[in-house]
């Protein structure tokens, strides 16, 4: 094993330990939070190292980049965590276990149609743009109810909760109010649609995932803390 793979293995173990500690602090049961290793731009060799270290769920931002990796590690669970384009929906439905970035009724309808054609049910999360930042995808909080109403009635979709990315550059405590806000949005939807199973909250990344867990995250998307520094935020 080379130095790079040792680093990934050690990092993966440390992140898993930190998640367990955060679960304990929050009074939550061990294993209640799913670690999604954000593997965008990472070679399959490092992904395999992370998998060997105990990580079984990976998140990719681009369908084309993900396809070869998924073929190289078909036993893992793969999540689409980047913006999904219309011309990539059919391929994404065929490749991914989860799609975390449904941000419009149109996108929900496209995923639904492709899922029905593939005779499968795709778990999806509704992506919320909490600060309505122009640089980010996601439905504005004010539009979330209408998106949920549209998506929950579609065949082939299992709408399972919400996903968000706080504004860039925040330290963990500055991110915390955004995690609280997303949880409250999810709780309000769950009250309005009691028959829906809206238990998932995908929030928290390398710099703030422990705060996210303390505020109710069920999935954290961690890249840099596992794979090291890369271009972009992880």
Cα distances from 191 to residues 23, 28, 44, 100, 136, in angstroms, run: 25, 22, 42, 21, 28
Q: pLDDT 10s digit of each residue in the chain, 234 long?
A: 444 445 999 999 999 999 999 999 999 999 999 999 999 999 999 999 999 999 999 999 999 999 999 999 999 999 999 999 999 999 999 999 999 999 999 999 999 999 999 999 999 999 999 998 888 999 999 999 999 999 999 999 999 999 999 988 768 889 999 999 999 999 999 999 999 999 999 999 999 999 999 999 999 999 999 998 764 444
Contacts of 174 (CB under 8 A, 6+ apart): 166
Widest distance between CA atoms in the chain: 52
**Would you say 63 and 99 are in contact if contact means Cβ atoms under 8 Å apart?**
no
Asked if residue 232 belongs to a domain, the reply is no
Asked if residue 233 belongs to a domain, the reply is no
Domain of residue 160 covers 3-227
Asked if residue 134 belongs to a domain, the reply is yes
219's enclosing H/E stretch is strand 219-222
CATH number at 183 reads: 3.20.20.10
CA contacts within 13 A on the Cβ side of 124:
33
Cut 0.85: pTM above it: yes
Domain count, the chain: 1
Asked if residue 234 belongs to a domain, the reply is no
Asked if residue 181 belongs to a domain, the reply is yes
């Amino acid at each position: 094993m080379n130095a790079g793979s040792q680093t990934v293995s050690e990092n993966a173990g440390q992140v898993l330990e930190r998640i367990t500690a955060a679960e304990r602090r929050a009074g939550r049961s061990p294993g209640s939070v799913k670690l999604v290793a954000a593997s965008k731009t990472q070679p399959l060799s490092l992904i395999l190292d992370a998998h060997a270290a105990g990580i079984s769920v990976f998140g990719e931002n681009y369908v084309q980049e993900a396809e070869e990796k998924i073929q190289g590690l078909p036993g893992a669970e793969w999540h689409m965590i980047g913006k999904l384009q219309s011309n990539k929906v059919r391929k994404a439905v065929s490749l991914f276990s989860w799609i975390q970035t449904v941000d419009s009724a149109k996108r929900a309808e496209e995923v639904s149609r492709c899922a029905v054609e593939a005779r499968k049910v795709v778990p999806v999360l509704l992506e919320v743009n909490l600060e309505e930042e122009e640089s980010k995808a996601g439905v504005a909080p004010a539009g979330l109810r209408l998106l949920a109403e549209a998506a929950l009635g579609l065949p082939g979709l299992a709408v399972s909760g919400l996903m968000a990315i706080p504004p860039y550059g925040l330290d963990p405590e500055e991110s915390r109010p955004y995690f609280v806000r997303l949880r409250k949005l999810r709780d309000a939807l769950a009250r309005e649609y009691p028959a829906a199973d809206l238990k998932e909250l995908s929030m928290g990344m390398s710099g703030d995932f422990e705060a996210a867990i303390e505020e109710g995250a069920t999935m954290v998307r961690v890249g840099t803390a596992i794979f090291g520094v890369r271009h972009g935020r992880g």
